[in-house]
Structure 1
Amino acid sequence: MIINVFLADDHRLFRDGLKRILGETADIVVAGEATDGLDALEKMRKGGWDVALLDVNMPGMNGLEVLKRIMNDDAKHQILMLSTYHEDEYAIRTIRAGASAYLTKNSPTDLLISVIRRLAKGGKYIDPELAEKLLFDLGPASAILPHSTLSDRELNVLKLIALGVSLIEISQKLALSSKTVSTYRARILEKMNMQNNAQLIRYVAEHKLLE
């Protein structure tokens, strides 16, 4: 059985590297690719793939947004999310949004190939420690950390603010208007019950959200 893989990542070197790796297998072929979220969504909706590999962070529309829209079309899609982020927050969000698996980009090659084959058969893959967190780290509402209430886009904006990126630069990076980014910032402050960027930056540092 040949597994048709769709690859979406805005870094050409990474895409080329994955294509070389998958090209060495006898049963996996790259049947399509995209360089940004909007392009990925359009091409994925045309079909022709068994497993999709989506980068979490892509310009225009990030991987999480693509995932949610594709899963709304058909919840049976097999999608593997790839990210440079190691923190559980991103992994949990993707799994809850319907992803069949989540791997960081420094995962072993043999694990990646194994997970693709598992997904092609209708299975799923989740790191054992993450599975335990999903199962048991569901305390009462009073115990939920403020940043867990943020949307995926709001969390992304929060992290960029914590990195010292200006609102104008954030709008350019995320392809949003400055007004929209300002609205996101206002929502973040309201949801987290904070008053300014300094408090947000301190919170991100204390909870190690950038690691």
Structure 2
Amino acid sequence: MRRVLLIDDHQVVRDGLKSIIREFADNAVFGEAATAPDALRLARDERWDLAVLDISLRDRSGLEVLKELKQLQPNMPVLVLTMHAEEQYARRAYRTGASGYVTKDSPRAELASAIKKVLSGARYISPVLAELLVTDLGRDLDQPSHDLLSDREFEVMRLLGLGKSVSEIAALLSLSDKTVSTYRARVLEKMQFKTNADIVRYAIENRLID
């Protein structure tokens, strides 16, 4: 019997994932969470064979949730499900501990393949990401500027790109306004930007926001 924790703020997505998983594991038991606190509570209270995590939760940074899930259950594989372009988020997700990464617009067969592979204890790399990794070999000088940012700086930049205020970002990331302002200053310095408008423009051009 497989125990799968589904973390997504859309019920229709969770229902779709359950349908896919039941095709090859009809006795699977599911836990469902629409918010980061619920997800972390379930991970703290129960053991799971797999977590499927939407990295774009409304109430918390998905990368931060991923990090905490791995701290709570180091041996639990986490499959990241997202709408974000793979080249922008996948590497960060893998570095944080993800076992697989697929976009929500992937074919149903690919989603099933990813879930089965990660459940078996293996890592899943989609054909698109595999091609990107091969293409990027030996091209370190051509990496996007935001690769210079830490995960926290990257999240702050993305939220600024969405038009969030310092106070809103502080609430989302459980930080003080002063700390967020410090991260913002680091982003501006590292990216050689002057204003938030530069951040918004860059985020749109590089598909960092939906």
Moved more, 148-157 or 18-27: 18-27
Residue 175 (structure 2) pairs with residue 209 (structure 1) = no
- For residue 58 of structure 1, report the CA deviation from its aligned partner: 1.9
Q: Output one character per residue of 1:89-131: Cα deviation in whole Å (capped at 9) or x when no partner.
A: 1112112222111111122223222222222221121013312
Aligned to 2:68: 69
- For residue 66 of structure 1, report the CA deviation from its aligned partner: 2.4
Query: Helix, strand or coil: the match of 1:209?
Result: coil
Distance 1:28 1:174, change over 3 A: farther
Aligned to 1:189: 188
* 1:132-151 matched pairs, under 5 angstroms: 132-134=131-133, 137=136, 139=138, 143-151=142-150
Structure 1: distance between partners of 2:204 and 2:59: 27
Aligned to 1:4: 3
RMSD of aligned C-alpha atoms? 2.9
Instruction: Report if the CA contact (8 A) 1:3-1:28 is conserved.
Output: yes
Amino acid at match of 2:160: I
* 1:146-185 matched pairs, under 5 angstroms: 146-171=145-170, 176-185=175-184
Structure 2: distance between partners of 1:72 and 1:173: 20
Q: Output one character per residue of 1:133-183: Cα deviation in whole Å (capped at 9) or x when no partner.
A: 335525576544321122334323323333434434444555654434323
Structure 1: distance between partners of 2:189 and 2:125: 33
Aligned to 2:117: 118
Residue 14 (structure 2) pairs with residue 15 (structure 1) = yes
- For residue 10 of structure 1, report the CA deviation from its aligned partner: 1.9
Instruction: Report if the CA contact (8 A) 1:3-1:27 is conserved.
Output: no
**With structure 1 as the length reference, what TM-score do the two structures score?**
0.80
Amino acid at match of 2:53: L
**With structure 2 as the length reference, what TM-score do the two structures score?**
0.81
Structure 2: distance between partners of 1:200 and 1:116: 35
Structure 2: distance between partners of 1:106 and 1:142: 30
Query: Helix, strand or coil: the match of 2:153?
Result: helix
Aligned to 1:86: 85
Distance 1:207 1:105, change over 3 A: closer
Moved more, 197-206 or 91-100: 197-206
Distance 1:119 1:27, change over 3 A: farther
Structure 2: distance between partners of 1:129 and 1:15: 24
Moved more, 43-52 or 79-88: 43-52
Aligned to 2:97: 98
Matched length: 210
Amino acid at match of 2:47: G
